[in-house]
Chains A and B, each alone.
Chain A
Amino acid sequence: MQISRIASPLKLLTIALKVGRVTKKYPFGPPLLTESFRGAISIDPAKCWGCGACTLVCPPNALTMRLEGEKIVLEYFKGRCIFCGMCADTCPANAITVTKEFELAATSVEDLKEDVIHKMSKCAICGKPFVATAEIRDVMKMQPITEEYANICPECRKKRAVKAFGMRFGAST
Chain B
Amino acid sequence: MKLEERLRGVRRSPWVYHLNSGSCNACDIEILDALTPFFDAERFGVKLVASPRHADVVLFTGPVTREALPKVVKTLKAVPRPRIVVAIGSCAVGGGIWWNTYSTIGGFEKFQGVLKQQGVEIDKVVYVPGCPARPEAIIYGLLLALGYVKQKVSKVVKVVES
A-to-B contact residues, CB < 8 Å: 22-24, 26-27, 31-32, 40, 43, 45-46, 48, 50, 59-62, 77-83, 102-119, 132-134, 137
Which residues from B are CB-within-8-Å of A43?
158
Query: B153 contacts A78, CB within 8 Å?
Result: yes
Output the least CB separation between B84 and chain A (Å): 11
- B10-49 residues with Cβ-Cβ distance < 8 A to A are 37-40, 43
Instruction: Name 7 interchain pairs, CB-CB below 8 A, sorted by A.
Output: A24-B39, A31-B136, A40-B129, A79-B94, A82-B131, A113-B155, A116-B159
0 or 1 for each of B144-162: is its CB under 8 Å from A? (1 = yes): 1000110111111111111
Chain B residue numbers with a CB within 8 Å of A119 are 160, 162
A50 proximity list for chain B (CB < 8 A): 160
Partner of A105, one of B38, B109, B141, B161: B141
Q: How far is the CA of A46 from the CA of B143 in the complex (A)?
A: 36
B158→A114 contact, CB < 8 A = yes
Residue interface bits B66-95, CB-to-A below 8 A is 1, else 0: 000000000000000000000000100111
Q: Check B129 against A79 for contact (C-beta < 8 Å).
A: yes
Q: List the interface of chain B (C-beta within 8 A of A).
A: 37-40, 43, 90, 93-97, 99-100, 107, 109, 124-131, 133-134, 136-137, 139-141, 143-144, 148-149, 151-162
CB pair B90 A79 closer than 8 Å: yes
CA distance A137 to B161 in the complex (A): 11
The one of A62, A79, A102, A112 in contact with B137, judged by C-beta atoms closer than 8 angstroms, is A102
Q: Is A80 within 8 A of B95, CB to CB?
A: yes
Q: Does B136 contact A32, Cβ atoms closer than 8 Å?
A: yes
Which residue of A77, A105, A110, A137 contacts B128 across the interface (Cβ within 8 Å)? A105
User: How far is A45 from B158 in the complex, measured between Cα atoms in Å?
Assistant: 7
Contact flag A104-B130 (CB < 8 Å), given A80-B93, A134-B162? yes
CB of B157 within 8 A of CB of A117, answer yes
* Pairwise interchain contact B158-A106, C-beta atoms closer than 8 A: no
Say how far B6's CB is from chain A's closest CB, in angstroms: 16
| Contact B94–A134 (Cβ < 8 Å) | no
A50 to B161, CA, bound (A): 12
Given contact pairs A112-B94, A114-B158, a sample of 6 additional A-B residue pairs in the complex whose CB atoms are under 8 Å apart:
A27-B139, A61-B100, A80-B90, A80-B99, A81-B90, A104-B153
Q: Out of A62, A111, A137, which one reaches B151, CB within 8 Å?
A: A111
CA distance A72 to B152 in the complex (A): 27
Task: Note all chain A residues with C-beta closer than 8 A to B151.
Answer: 105-107, 111
Q: Which of B107, B124, B137, B154 meets A103, CB within 8 Å?
A: B137
Smallest Cβ-Cβ distance to A117: which chain B residue = B159
User: Quick one: closest A residue to B38, CB to CB?
Assistant: A22
Is the beta-carbon distance between A109 and B157 smaller than 8 angstroms? no
- Which residues of chain A come closer than 8 Å to B96, judged between CB atoms? 60, 80, 82
Centre residue among A22, A46, A82, A117 by max chain B CB count within 10 A: A82
Nearest CB of B to A4, in Å: 26
| Cβ-closest 7 pairs across A and B | A80-B94, A79-B93, A105-B141, A82-B131, A79-B94, A45-B158, A114-B156
